[in-house]
Each structure stands twice: as structure tokens, then as C-alpha cells.
Amino acid sequence: MLQSLPPPRASFLFRIRVFIGLLAGLRRHDFRSARTWINTMYPGASIFTRLMKFVVWSLDQMWVRIPDSLTMTTFAPAVSKIPFWLKEGNPLENHPWKTQPDAILPERAHVVVIGAGFTGGSLAYHWGKFAPADESLKMIVLDMGDAAGGSSGRNEGLVVMGRYCHMVYKTVIHHFDKARTDLPTADREQLAKQFGIAYTKAAYHNGDLVEETIKAEHFDCDYARAGWVQARDADQQQMLANSVKMAQNTGLSDWTSITPDEVERLTGMHVKHNAGFSIAAASFHPAKWVWSLLKRALASNRVELYSRTKVARIERDGDGYLVKTDRGTIHANYVVNATEAYTPMLHPQFHDRILPTQTQAASGTGGPENIKPHVGISGTRGFFAKHHDAVLIGSDATRVPDNEAGIIQPSRFITKFLLGEMQNYYGPYRYHVTNEWSGTVSYTPDEFPIVGVMDGYRQYIIAGMAGSGTAVSFNGGRCVVNRILGRTDEQDDYPPEYFSPTRLLDPQNHKWPEVLN
């Protein structure tokens, strides 16, 4: 049931003021986002048609929807750029220098991990759990900032089951139509389906491993497994039906379709059409998850963390590597890059293969009274989430230059657009915006992750997770740790023929999977 608030109606003068303010506030990223929006929302139309539709949409937003929603919205005098998940502070801030100012970076390590987010924390946890208690087998985790300070601490707060099989199939087949012209159409379609199945099975295992670990380790990270609802418009219903059919035919039963009544019961959101539903997705505090993993790893004495240590380059050195940082050089036998969107700056060969992509979010108090906590909630153009007394909103997926990865540069226009979107689904509400930030995830050209050796020797990478880092990072970290340790007694969900970086770096010589008939 909607709140008993009157429908918001902005006055003429207020509309003019908002309209002028929106135009005056446009920045470079707004125009980049507009290009993304046009290409995403109006596929198949001519350039002229897309532009005309976008102009009509923009005028409706700036003159009607945004002004109406802003009549019930206030902004803090100084909206903080600190992400919601980090606003209470970071228990691993400036580690170890904060408590050990005389600490020195080690000169040697068996493994150096670059990045202390979802992936770096996962690698550290599994190393602390499985590696022998041998000083010569130490893992060193480095981060240019603080643990969970990148995209791992700037997101929606969902443990996703990954992209459903049909979605992976569609992105991969689109890429194969250009990259695998050596294959007949039927073989490209079958191979794309195999990629979708391989990804989804690995993601399902990942989700279960996350839950098992949280329960077994008693991690305090606000975990709740209540699913993820994804709204679909009328013109997306056939695609939804096709995706559910593929899920059923392949035995990947997490992805299904639910009715508008079920959507309202689960989320409080009002929709007119069936929505997609990922049954086993969960919500959690993403930064607490990373901190929990790292704390447990540090307690094992097999792992050391050094934050605010920027890696400048990695050089091959005989049987190992020289990891050169602004605090000194580490000799390592193995290197694992958990750098996600930062990868092209460290490894230029990944330019145009790892694509830094900006998303953004905001949080505040108030919001719809009928919005449900714990469940993932996505409209067709943004997400909404309730965590304790705060409501989060977010959107965007626009590529940015390699050197802008990690820079916090949210768009106020997008925030205001999302306020109107939330009103469309939930009706009138009062909301006070306190925090606003952006994060940078990474996509690959086929929107399929890479997990494996990147140089044919001992340097690994886990990246390209297309905004679904919680679907890949924990299981991917487990598998890479097992490979380095030579452990073969556990299932490896990332076979090289599907996930190896050579798929992107050297597709001509990549060992592609056999097409199954």
C-alpha cells in the first residue's frame, strides 16, 4: 500500500528553476552517460530516431519527473562523497602503518596480490586457510588505497548469482559474430551457450561458497539471502521468457519470472509486467565482507597486508617477478592481479580488453515506507536498496578513460533522475540525500570474466567481471590459490578454454573449447 502522501506537483517557477539548474550542472560525464543511454535504450533505431527519442525523454525528465520528485527531496548542505559502506570508518585503514609506523615492506614473498577488494580479500582468505605454515610461502597483499576502498566498497551490496545464462549467451554471441567468424553460425551459437553455462555454474558455486563461509566463520557482514528482483518493461517480456526457458532447459534454475503481485510482496515495488527473479542472490555489507576475509587471513600469519602502497610496474626476474612499488621492490615467485578496472594502467596490453566502466550511487534517509530490506531491487534503469535506516539508489554503466578508474565523480543529474525513477515504482516519499559517490567496475568486450595466467608463466589475473564481482571473486580466488598450491582435490570452476586471458590477449592462439553437438 502506498504512503498517504499527496502526489508531488512542482510549481511552474520551480520547474523553470530545476530545468535551468540541471542544464547548468551538466558535466562531461553526463554527456558520456547520455551516449550510453541512447545506445542502450534505443537499439536498432537510426541515429536520428534515437536522438529524437532521447530529446523527448530528456525534456520529460527535466520538466516533469525530476522537478516533481525534488519537491519532496532535500540534499545535505555538503553531500559527502564517502560511500555509504565506508562512512563509519575502515578498521584496516592505512594498515599496518597506522599502528606500526616503522613497518617496512618485505623484500620477498611467495605470492604478491595487487588489490585488496573482493578478489584480493578472497585470495588472502583462501591462502590463509590452505597454504602450509611456512615463512617462505608468505602471501603479501598490496593496495594503492585502503582495503575495500575501491569498487568493493562502493556498490549496491548484493551477493549476486551472476548474470543469468541467457544474458551471458547474448553478450558472448554478439562478440563471437565478430571475433569467431571462422565458425559457422550454428557453432557460434552453441559455443556461446556453453560459455553461458560455464559462467553460471561457477557463479552458483560461488554464491553457495560465500554463504557457507559466512556461516562457518561467523562473519558479521549483515548477510541475508532473499533474492534479487529485476523489473522488465512490456517490450522486454519476450526476452524474459526466452531467458527463463534457457534456464529451465539447462538446469540453471536460479533464474525465473515472477508476477507483479509477487514483485510487490517481495520488494514493495509496483510494476505492470512480470519481472526476472534471481532466487538465491543475497544482500550484505560488502566492505565488512572484505574486512572479515582479510582479518581472518592476517590471523593465520600466512598473509600480510600493506595498504597505501602503489604498484608502479611488474618485471620478470628469472623464475619470478620484481613488483616495484612506491615503498620498495618485492621479489615474488607468483603475482596475482586483483586490480579489476585499474588493470589497463598497470598492464597496457589490456587497453580495450579491460574496459573501466563507471557506475554511481547515492544514499540518504527517508525513502519509500513500503520498500523492503534485504532483497535486491532493480528497476529497468537503476537499483534501489534499503539497509537499516538508509535507502540506496544507483545506476549508470559508462566507459571512462583508463586513467579515470577509481575517481569519485558522481553525476547529480543521474542522482536526481533516480529519485524520479524510485517514485515511479514506489509512489510519493520524502528523502534526504547525504552521500553520493561513483565506482569503477570493468567489462571485457564479450562481458565475460577472465580468470587465469596472463603471461604463460606465473602471473595471474582475475578481472572483467562486468559489475558482478561478487559472483566471481570468491570462487575465482579459491581456484587460483589452489592452482598455485598445486591442490587438485577441489573442483576448479574456471577452465582455461573459457576463462583464460588469452581469449582476449591472443585469440588466434587461444585453446578454445570444443563445440559440443
153: left (phi over 0), alpha (psi -120 to 50) or beta: alpha
Q: Are 376 and 227 in contact (CB under 8 A)?
A: yes
What residue spans define the domains of the chain?
A: 9-71, 82-510
Q: What is the pLDDT of residue 105?
A: 97
CATH 3.40.250.10, applies to 82-510: no
Work out the number of other CB atoms within 10 angstroms of the CB of residue 195.
25
Q: What is the pLDDT of residue 11?
A: 95
Q: What is the pLDDT of residue 359?
A: 97
Strand arrangement, sheet containing 376-378: 73-80, 431-443, 355-366, 390-399, 383-387, 376-378, 228-230, 275-278, 255-258
Helices (H) then strands (E): counts for the chain: 15, 19
At 347, phi and psi to the nearest 5?
-130, 90
For residue 282, which of 234, 368, 224 has the smallest C-alpha distance? 224
Given a cut of 70, the residues of the chain with pLDDT beneath it are 1-4
Q: What is the pLDDT of residue 4?
A: 59
Q: What is the pLDDT of residue 2?
A: 43
Cα–Cα separations (whole angstroms), residue 404 to 236, 313, 407, 441, 465: 33, 18, 6, 11, 18
Longest dimension (CA), the chain: 72
Q: What is the pLDDT of residue 38?
A: 92
Residues 307, 265: Cα–Cα separation, whole Å: 43
| Element of type H or E holding 41 | helix 28-41
| Whole-structure pTM value | 0.96
Residue type, 363: S
At 302, phi and psi to the nearest 5?
-105, -5
179-203 pLDDT tens trace: 999 999 999 999 999 999 999 999 9
Q: Are 280 and 235 in contact (CB under 8 A)?
A: no
Q: Are 468 and 447 in contact (CB under 8 A)?
A: no
Residues 281, 264: Cα–Cα separation, whole Å: 18
